[in-house]
Amino acid sequence: MLVNRKLILAHFWLAFAVFGIALTLGAWQMFIRSPIGTWLSNPELYYRSLTAHGTVMGYVFPTLVAMGFGYAISEAALQQRLVGVRWAWVGFWLIVAGSVMAVIPIALGRASVLYTFYPPLIGNVFYYLGVVLVVVGSWIWVALMSVNLRVWRRAHPGAPVPLAMFANVAGSYLWAWTAVGAALELLLQIIPVAAGLKSTIDAGLARVFFSWTLHAIVYFWLMPTYIAYYTIVPRAIGGRIYSDSMARISFILFLVVAMPIGMHHTFADPQVGAGFKFIHSAFTALVALPTLLTVFTICASVEIAARLRGGRGMFGWIRALPWDNPMMLALAFSFIMLGFGGAGGLINMSYQLDASIHNTQWITGHFHLIFGGAIVIMYFAIAYDLWPHLTGRELIDVRLIRTQLWLWFIGMIVTTFPWHWVGILGMPRRMAYFDFGDPAIAPQALSVTLSAIGGFILLASGIMFIVILARGMRTPKIDAGPYRFALAVHQPATVPVALNTHALWVALMIGLTLTNYGYPILNLALSSGTSVPAVYVGAQ
Amino acid sequence: MSTRDLFTLRNSHFRIGVGITAAILIVTAIAGFIVLPFAQPWVKFADVWDAICSAAGVPQRAAGVTAPEQGKRLSEVVLTSNTLARPSQEAIGRGATLAQRCAICHGPTGVSRADSPNLAGQYAAVIYKQLHDFRSGARTNAVMSPFAINLTDQEITDLSNYYAYLPRLPAYHPTPQLPKPNIVIYGAPMRGIAPCGACHGSLDNKTGSPWLEGQSEAYMKAQLHAFAAGERRNDISQQMRNIARAMTPQEIEAAAAYYASQPPDVVKAVD
Ligand code: HEM
Ligand SMILES: [Cu+2]
């Protein structure tokens, strides 16, 4: 039951429109700093582009996808009209306003601070206010998800919350809490300086606040993908979810352990004590658990589908899978990229190994593989799956869809594998150009060129994606039927309170944040002499 | 299913969830704050509490370490956003009066005929910093130091505002404009040299960096060589010394000739 289709479509279209722009900037960045482009005479342009690309890809695009998908889940899984539609539109328009407000100073070169803000670098205040508006808009969504679940619960006392909605609300709570770190950094530290009320800033404290957001935000990006793994893929390929409880436990684990681990982004920072770095590192190791559970459960669910289709043997069933189904393809690609990306993540999370790849191109290669690859390819799949139900029209270009997914996968591998490699060789990230004429880095020219070619493949795939969706708005009308989520092998009749509500896990999430962040933040906030003069972008 | 059934030890999910979480936290805390600090034999702790404080990142004063003795004076200029903000007409007028003694070298209109820097329209922060550095001895020059040594803070501020207020005029002997050499456009990334314009005004201006267009070629060359040789050392954090040291003599030549041939009106305006 999808009633507010316009609302959901608005979120998706805005998401994919800004994605298209940011993708083009990404391809340009790849090209311009590779040996096939000429050096930029003004490196500032690179940082302008990088700020826009990072801000859109990191904040605006995934947030809009999570919101649009969240509204769709709320209506389709709960079989209930969305409560608070007017508020949802307010949230949407806040995001539009915030994005415009942020992008103008970026385009003018007044906010080339990159999406990680990088204090004591300070840009135009409207950039930060724009980001705040985007976050506030998304918080409205968080509240609405919670309200809608509550309304449903009242009508269905004691009934198990549908898995998709349970996970969706978990993701929204995770986002609400993890965004607090960056919000504190912006409101207490950066915006007062950008507005001219102060001229110094505690950059070390700002980095700690940002790390509060920076890790769990990646699980917020990941949520729609994991929800699609569990609740769309098995249905789309004719299987069932292997275990409903396992799925719930995975989402619960994300809620608990995604938060207290962000300091693995500050391993190289002197202002954080080594003991806290160790605790965060140890908890980071735990966060592999829900992903391993998921990989196991989804493989089992897929096997069920294969065996239902007559698949036999230890591995023979793999051939019986519906490989021409875009959802199957997307899942396989996503898992492969998740596997490689996860292996790379093991290096990032270990205190010692991290030192050799810290701030190198390895990092950008890594998160493009996981985020741009494993996660975003499932965003595509979600859009393809939902589109007929949103537009009431069929997506007829199934071959084009498969080609698009193949190109995204190939493009991502071609882009990110050499990207990792040059990182290991020590090439720093966030550089506008490299002198490949120098014998010291001349051998890396080939790898960087390959990455740039991969970037163009990705651009082509991204354009195809948008074209497919746009064409899908004009095909003949069909009745797509009700939108359904996958069922479990044993669809639960009752679920224990702890696996049907979020309160316990939210409490643990907040508790662990206090234990793991409380002292480092207080220590920095209360010490004097830790602030440095702000450096204003483009100012005297 | 109320929260009363959830947050109670009778609920096994509560017991297990909270229990495991607390256990992991305690184990990792003991490892991170006690075991691992003592596992580093090269670090000495007075007692367990000392190790815990160290691992927690409590700021500690390193015992018995004194700041290294600085042989030469360094720049100590402090500039806040109010130092040079919105000068009054009187302040600029006072600066104009004071500037009469500078005119012999820097020209009556702020454009030099004597291979001294042109000051007309230079960024106020630049003049302010150089005068302070001459006064403190962080920068020395046989001609300039005696002029600066007796200036008061107010006089330095007024002079800076006056010269920044003057229009940027073409150099006294304009030469045909030369094309940009690579060292100016790109710098030299492998040697850690940013493009000059990243600080000196044509792309961006970093506080304290002068614009260079139309300045004397001989003067700029001499300064670059002085930075490279470490004879001039009032650049903060060696920003300019590091660059000049990495430049070849040809690049110094080319950069100085290029900048000398440019009209100063291309420089990025100041807010
Ligand atoms: C959905 C896909 C993508 C996402 C989510 C994404 C996200 C990001 C983010 C968050 C950053 C960090 C910005 C920063 O370091 O400040 C970034 C950097 C970058 N991205 Fe993407 N990106 C995506 C696709 C692409 C594509 C397809 C390309 C190339 C064609 C690309 C090229 C780059 C480049 C060159 C950088 C800068 C790396 C550096 O200089 O350190 N991105 N991206
Ligand atoms: Cu992280």
CATH label of the domain that carries residue A210: 1.20.210.10
Picking from B3, B4, B6, B38 by the largest number of A CB atoms within 10 A of its own CB, the best residue to mutate is: B6
Q: What is the pLDDT of residues B204-249, one digit of tens each?
A: 778 889 999 999 999 999 999 999 999 999 998 899 999 999 999 9
- Residue B11 in domain: yes
Of all protein residues, the one whose alpha carbon is nearest to atom 1 of ligand 1 is A372
Residue of A222, A363, A368, A422 to mutate, ligand 1, most atoms within 8 A of C-beta:
A368
Same domain, B150 and B190: no
- Residue B108 in domain: yes
Question: Which residues on chain A are in Cβ contact (under 8 Å) with B207?
Answer: 540
Of all protein residues, the one whose alpha carbon is nearest to atom 36 of ligand 1 is A26
Listed residues: CB within 5 A of ion ligand 2: A 215
Tell me whether residues A256 and B21 touch, CB distance under 8 A. Answer: yes
- Residue B109 in domain: yes
pTM assigned to the model:
0.86
Name the residues of A annotated as catalytic. 215, 219, 366-368, 429-430
Neighbours of A329 (CB within 10 A): 21
What is the domain range of residue A176?
A: 5-536
pLDDT mean over B5-34 = 92
Q: If DSSP codes are grouped into helix, strand and coil, which group holds residue A31? A: helix
Report strand pairing: A532-533 vs A200-201.
Answer: antiparallel
Report strand pairing: A535-536 vs A532-533.
Answer: unpaired
Last residue of a domain, one of B165, B198, B217: B165
Q: What is the pLDDT of residues B149-201, one digit of tens each?
A: 999 999 999 999 999 999 988 776 677 888 989 899 888 877 888 889 888 88
Same domain, B212 and B154: no
With tokens 């606040």, the residue in question is A209
CA distance A335 to A348: 19
Question: Which residues on chain B are in Cβ contact (under 8 Å) with A498?
Answer: 6, 11, 13-14, 17
In our burial notation (b when 16+ CB lie closer than 10 A, e otherwise), range A138-163 reads bbbbbebbeebbebbbeeeeeebbbb
Tell me whether residues A504 and B207 touch, CB distance under 8 A. Answer: no
Q: For residue B82, give every residue at least 6 positions away whose Cβ sits within 8 Å of its Cβ, in sequence order, or none.
A: none
Q: Is the pLDDT of residue B203 over 80?
A: no
- Residue B62 in domain: no
- Residue B81 in domain: no
Atom of ligand 1 nearest to the CA of A432: 40
- Residue B128 in domain: yes
A43 vs B123, B198, B207: nearest CB: B198
Distance from CA of A8 to the nearest CA of B (A): 32
Closest to A95 in 3D by CA, of A12, A2, A170: A12
What is the domain range of residue B234?
A: 182-266
Question: Which residues on chain A are in Cβ contact (under 8 Å) with B61?
Answer: none
CA distance A228 to A327: 10
pLDDT at residue A330, rounded to an integer: 97
Report the interhelical angle of A398-424 vs A326-349 (nearest 10°): 10
Report strand pairing: A535-536 vs A121-122.
Answer: parallel
Q: Is residue A54 within 6 Å of ligand 1 at its C-beta?
A: yes
Q: Is residue A471 within 6 Å of ligand 1 at its C-beta?
A: no
Picking from B21, B191, B203 by the largest number of A CB atoms within 10 A of its own CB, the best residue to mutate is: B21
Q: Are A295 and A346 in contact (CB under 8 A)?
A: no
Closest to A66 in 3D by CA, of A295, A501, A335, A382: A382
Q: Is A526 exposed, middle or buried (0-12, 13-18, 19+ CB in 10 A)?
A: exposed
| pLDDT < 70 positions in chain A | 538-540
pLDDT at residue A138, rounded to an integer: 96
Report the interhelical angle of A163-184 vs A61-78 (nearest 10°): 150
> H or E segment at A122?
strand A121-122
Tell me whether residues A433 and B17 touch, CB distance under 8 A. Answer: no
Tell me the C-alpha to C-alpha distance, in Å, between residue B136 and each of A413, A479, B74, B117.
59, 83, 9, 20
Q: Are B198 and B204 in contact (CB under 8 A)?
A: yes
Question: Which residues on chain A are in Cβ contact (under 8 Å) with B7?
Answer: 503-504, 507
Tell me whether residues A282 and B7 touch, CB distance under 8 A. Answer: no
**Torsion angles phi and psi, residue B4, rounded to 5:** -65, -30
Tell me whether residues A497 and B6 touch, CB distance under 8 A. Answer: yes
Q: What is the pLDDT of residues B106-144, one digit of tens each?
A: 999 999 888 899 999 999 999 999 999 999 999 999 999
pLDDT at residue B186, rounded to an integer: 85
In total, the C-beta contacts within 8 angstroms joining chain A to chain B are 126
Q: Is the pLDDT of residue B271 over 50?
A: no
Q: Is residue A365 within 6 Å of ligand 1 at its C-beta?
A: no
Which runs of consecutive H residues, i.e. helices, occur in B10-143? 12-30, 36-38, 48-56, 89-98, 103-106, 124-136
pLDDT at residue A533, rounded to an integer: 85
ipTM: 0.89
Closest to A376 in 3D by CA, of A348, A338, A414: A338
What residues does A393 pair with on adjacent strands? Answer: A477
Q: If DSSP codes are grouped into helix, strand and coil, which group holds residue B11? A: coil
Tell me whether residues B31 and A527 touch, CB distance under 8 A. Answer: no
pLDDT at residue B4, rounded to an integer: 67
> Which residue from B minimizes the CA distance to A41?
B185
DSSP 8-state class, residue A114: -
Question: Which residues on chain A are in Cβ contact (under 8 Å) with B205?
Answer: 540
Same domain, B206 and B157: no
Tell me whether residues A501 and B204 touch, CB distance under 8 A. Answer: no
CA A388 remoteness from chain centre: 24
Joined together, the tokens standing for residue A445 give 């020219």
> Which residue from A minimizes the CA distance to B194?
A43
Atom of ligand 1 nearest to the CA of A429: 41
- Residue B105 in domain: yes
Could you tell me the CATH number of the domain that includes residue B109? 1.10.760.10
Tell me whether residues A519 and B55 touch, CB distance under 8 A. Answer: no
Domain count, chain B: 3
Question: Which residues on chain B are in Cβ contact (under 8 Å) with A274?
Answer: 32, 36-37, 54-55, 57
**Residues above pLDDT 90, as percent of chain A:** 84
Q: Is residue A411 within 6 Å of ligand 1 at its C-beta?
A: no
Q: Are A30 and A364 in contact (CB under 8 A)?
A: no
Q: Is residue A376 within 6 Å of ligand 1 at its C-beta?
A: yes
Question: Which residues on chain A are in Cβ contact (under 8 Å) with B31?
Answer: 278, 282
Q: Is the pLDDT of residue B63 over 60?
A: no
Which runs of consecutive H residues, i.e. helices, occur in A351-438? 351-357, 361-367, 376-391, 398-424
Across chain B, what does the average pLDDT equal? 87
Ligand 2 centroid from CA A372, angstroms = 15
Distance from CA of A507 to the nearest CA of B (A): 10
Q: Is residue A68 within 6 Å of ligand 1 at its C-beta?
A: no
Number of C-alpha atoms within 13 angstroms, CB side, residue A166?
28
Q: Is residue A455 within 6 Å of ligand 1 at its C-beta?
A: yes
Q: Are A516 and B29 in contact (CB under 8 A)?
A: no
Closest to B113 in 3D by CA, of B167, B172, B170: B172
Q: Are A233 and A169 in contact (CB under 8 A)?
A: no
Same domain, B44 and B109: no
**Torsion angles phi and psi, residue A536, rounded to 5:** -85, 130
Atom of ligand 1 nearest to the CA of A462: 27
- Residue B73 in domain: no
Q: Does A278 touch chain B (CB under 8 A)?
A: yes
pLDDT at residue A377, rounded to an integer: 98
Q: Is residue A372 within 6 Å of ligand 1 at its C-beta?
A: yes
Closest to A383 in 3D by CA, of A172, A68, A163, A71: A68
Domain count, chain A: 1
